[in-house]
Amino acid sequence: MCGNEALAEAAILAGCDAYFGYPITPQNEIPAYMSRRMPEEGRVFVQSESELAAINMVFGASATGKRAMTSSSSPGISLMQEGISYLAGAELPAVVVNITRGGPGLGNISPAQSDYFQATRGGGHGDYRTIVLAPSSVQEMVDCMLLAFDLADQYRMTVLVLADGILGQMMEPIVLEKKPSRELPPKDWALTGAKGREQNIIRSLWLGEGVLEKHNNKLKAKYEQVQENEVLCEQYEVDDAEIVVVAYGVTARIVRGAAAKAREEGIKVGWIRPITLWPFPTEQISKVANEFRIFLTVEMSAGQMVEDVKLAVAGKAPVVFYGRPGGSVPTVDELLDKIRQLTLRHEIKI
Amino acid sequence: MDTQIFDMHNIDIAWCPGCGNFPILKTLKQALAELEIEPANLVLVSGIGQAAKIPHYFKTNVFNGLHGRALPAATAIKAANPALTVISESGDGDMYGEGGNHFLHTIRRNPDITNIVHNNMVYGLTKGQASPTSQIGFKTPVQVGGVFLEPFNPLAVAIALDASFVARCFAGDAEQTKEIIKKAIKHKGYALVDIFQPCASFNKLNTYEWFKKHTYYLEDSHDHSNKNEAFKKATEEEKFPLGIFYIKPDKKTFEENIGIYQENQQPLYERKPNTGKLHSLIETFKFAD
Ligand SMILES: Cc1ncc(C[n+]2csc(CCOP(=O)(O)OP(=O)(O)O)c2C)c(N)n1
């Protein structure tokens, strides 16, 4: 079972009622798996005619109170942004998986982290947020899917799971187990027939003076709650670290290897791995930012998350960036070299 | 003209051995050479897919755009410079699935372009999912129980929309395909050429043999000016007719309809902005002192 298939099985375990998707590499194992398993479970699988259709099928299914998801890769996710904006406006839950590739445009099908802005800033229009989960192992792909459906229902938001082709193809042992789910609010907003109650209306149109402002402020309050309660990140050997490396997803695995080697050489390196990219672990980073350390952000991009790291560090320490854009993957030795250079440049005592 | 003028050297072709795209590539080069269309005056516009890679293997002007969006780009390229021969070419998934909406509206708009569709009844590049033209019962790793959707009928749709030229060919018959492509390119207005193209890797159902067995050429007596007759032929399913189904001559093209060419034949791309006109427009917005 590869990462993409594990993720798909986890969605089934999470109670996903309907999957909609359009073919695109490198995530085709997800629809292929779902096409077989969903009917077995008596659930819905549809190969749509385009990504626009897929996200709007999610929109429709979600409106009925059912758990719905789609998956695609970068260019396909670009097409879905319009739908995601409307889902946010209508406050409907949805799970969207992006197994990223290199861009802009058609780019290539290699792993890349160049959709960070798209994921965390929202490629669609309007004042809205999506929760973004960035797994770095196959087990975490499973865990993120289980969490994603719960978060989506709890906050009535789109939850994006952001992984890449390496994780999608990777094979690792996993435990597929449904953990006790959090208490979720009733879906009293769903279109289930208006018999004996007031009708429910799903919409993102808010005309009338001040009505949209009120709606936006309600969303804002909800997003602040998410920021307060749902940040996930992992830290390792940060306490005595003179260099703190920040990386997510597959890059964090390479960082872990480089940091271990650096420690062997006596360089005090620790790392922070954001699991939620939004909400970003701003506080966690801010807390450990001081003038005695350097922050090194490593990404498979030309520099996107580094902006959030800089905001978190807020000038309290230097923030250095190392990135490989265009679908290139940094090696452990390459990162180790970078870490060594930093010790020279900033005269960190070993 | 020698077809070699279109040849690219030292390139890797991504298609599988036995792919129906090879004969289409060769045939298109021959058709263009016989029509004496210079590479400099030709633009190949494509979307994304195996078929959509064809411009990369052609020494001419190349526009390789988005999945499903070749037709809007081709329309604009033709409008900017009507002297160019513009061919918009992709696979069935690209043109009829992702780009289905553009397919409908390009026919309505009627730009003077040729729309060649490599119809292999499967998504080739993404490794074998059903496409809009896949036959009922076709099994794939995603359509595990077989396709149950009615296949999209591009010819019937085009004829219903009164497309100005509608034809179907089979990649296995280079000679006839070449003649039809030549007529399509020479035709003034939007011309659809749907080409049955065997996919050696991902479509084991619709093979060369299958297409040979399930196609026949329209009789010489077929009246391609008769819309009802053309529609009837386009909806035949037992065996798929090949040839020119429908021609609507003298239909005004998009370039003829848009205002810019009605008084001035100079191509849009050569025109300079009329700053004099702009200045006098700005003057009208100014308050008098
Ligand atoms: C927006 C977007 N969605 C999906 C894809 C993935 N994709 C590339 S080509 C293709 C379809 C290929 O099928 P077809 O157009 O029939 O051409 P063929 O490869 O069979 O020649 C798809 C779905 C993409 N590149 N961009």
Q: Where are the domains of chain A?
A: 3-229, 233-345
Q: Whose CA is nearest to atom 1 of ligand 1?
A: A76
Chain B residue closest to A32 (CA)? Answer: B142
Contact B129 A28 (CB under 8 A): yes
A41 touches chain B (CB under 8 A): no
Q: Which residues contact B45 (CB under 8 A, 6 or more apart)?
A: B55, B63, B65, B70, B73, B74, B77, B86, B87, B88, B89
Q: Given a cut of 90, is residue A123 above it in pLDDT? A: no
Q: What is the pTM of this model?
A: 0.95
| pLDDT score of B122 | 98
For residue B231, count other CB atoms closer than 10 A to its CB: 16
**Tell me: the pLDDT tens digits for B150-186?**
999 999 999 999 999 999 999 999 999 999 999 999 9
Residues of A in contact with B143 (CB under 8 A): 35, 47
Quote the Cα angle for A63-A92-A115, to 5°.
Answer: 125
Q: Given a cut of 60, is residue A348 above it in pLDDT? A: no
Ligand 1 centroid – CA B98 distance (Å): 8
From the options 3.90.245.10, 3.30.420.40, 3.40.50.970, 3.40.50.1370, give the CATH code of A3-229. Answer: 3.40.50.970
Tell me the shortest Cα–Cα distance from A75 to chain B, in angstroms. 9
Contact A49 B48 (CB under 8 A): no
A22 touches chain B (CB under 8 A): yes
- Six-digit token string for B68: 């499903």
From the options 3.40.640.10, 2.60.40.10, 3.40.50.2300, 3.40.50.920, give the CATH code of A233-345. Answer: 3.40.50.920
Q: Let me know: does A38 contact B142? Beta carbons within 8 Å.
A: no
pLDDT band at A350 (very low <50, low <70, confident <90, very high): very low
| pLDDT score of A272 | 98
Residues of B in contact with A36 (CB under 8 A): 144
**Tell me: the pLDDT tens digits for A273-292?**
999 999 999 999 999 999 89
Q: Which residues contact B257 (CB under 8 A, 6 or more apart)?
A: B110
Ligand 1 centroid – CA B90 distance (Å): 9
Contact A35 B68 (CB under 8 A): no
Q: Given a cut of 60, is residue A293 above it in pLDDT? A: yes
| pLDDT score of A347 | 52
pLDDT band at A346 (very low <50, low <70, confident <90, very high): low
Amino acid B106 reads T
pLDDT band at B10 (very low <50, low <70, confident <90, very high): very high
Q: Given a cut of 80, is residue A153 above it in pLDDT? A: yes
* Domains A3-229 and A233-345 equal at CATH topology level: yes
Pocket lining for ligand 1, CB < 6 angstroms: A 22-24, 51, 75-76, 79; B 48-51, 67, 90-94, 118, 120, 122-126, 131
| pLDDT score of A181 | 77
Q: Given a cut of 90, is residue A119 above it in pLDDT? A: yes
Contact B142 A31 (CB under 8 A): yes
A303 touches chain B (CB under 8 A): no
Residues of B in contact with A105 (CB under 8 A): 66
Q: Given a cut of 90, is residue A179 above it in pLDDT? A: no
**Tell me: the pLDDT tens digits for A210-237?**
999 999 999 999 999 999 999 999 999 9
Tell which atom from ligand 1 comes closest to the C-alpha of A23: 23
**Tell me: the pLDDT tens digits for A296-321?**
999 999 999 999 999 999 999 999 99
Q: Whose CA is nearest to atom 10 of ligand 1?
A: B49
Listed by start position, the domains of chain B span 3-285
CA–CA dist B58, B29 (Å, integer): 8
| pLDDT score of A338 | 96
Of the candidates B67, B126, B127, the beta carbon closest to that of A75 is on: B67
Of the candidates A24, A35, A49, the beta carbon closest to that of B97 is on: A49
Provide CATH code, domain B3-285: 3.40.50.970
Q: Whose CA is nearest to atom 16 of ligand 1?
A: B93
Contact B98 A50 (CB under 8 A): yes
Mean pLDDT of B213-222: 98
- Measured CA distances, B103 to B10, B68, B155, B157, B183 (Å): 34, 9, 11, 10, 20
**Tell me, what DSSP letter sits at residue A129?**
-
Ligand 1 centroid – CA A203 distance (Å): 32
Of the candidates B67, B126, B143, the beta carbon closest to that of A28 is on: B126
Q: Let me know: does B179 contact B170? Beta carbons within 8 Å.
A: no
Contact B129 A106 (CB under 8 A): no
Ligand 1 centroid – CA B97 distance (Å): 9
Ligand 1 centroid – CA B4 distance (Å): 29
A23 touches chain B (CB under 8 A): yes
- Six-digit token string for B192: 């659809």
Bridge partners of A71? Answer: A21, A97
Tell which atom from ligand 1 comes closest to the C-alpha of A75: 1
Tell which atom from ligand 1 comes closest to the C-alpha of B51: 21
Q: Where does chain A have alpha helices with state H? A: 3-13, 29-40, 51-63, 74-90, 116-117, 138-155, 165-169, 211-229, 249-264, 282-288, 305-313, 332-345
Q: Given a cut of 80, is residue A68 above it in pLDDT? A: yes
